[in-house]
Amino acid sequence: MSERLSGLRCALCKAVGYLVVDHVRGIASCESCGQSALVSDGEIERAGA
């Protein structure tokens, strides 16, 4: 199950609205540049998703 994180900016390419989080794998990734990061559910909730 993945969810778009609207309004958040990619730290690498600065694109807004391209971040997607996969809750099962615990990975957030940018659809624009491909950058990804491991995240916990607590971090996702604080980001406003």
Render 1-30 in DSSP notation, one character per residue: -EEE-TT-B-TTT--BS-EEEETTTTEEEE
Range of the domain at 17: 2-46
- What is the Cα–Cα distance from 34 to 31, expressed in whole angstroms? 6
Residue 2's pLDDT band, with cuts at 50, 70 and 90, is confident
Q: Residue 15: give its domain's CATH number.
A: 2.20.25
* Number of structural domains in the chain: 1
Lowest mean pLDDT among 1-5, 7-11, 14-18, 27-31: 1-5
What pLDDT score does 16 carry?
A: 96
For 31-49, the pLDDT digits (tens) are 999 999 998 877 666 665 5
For 9-25, the pLDDT digits (tens) are 999 999 999 999 998 89
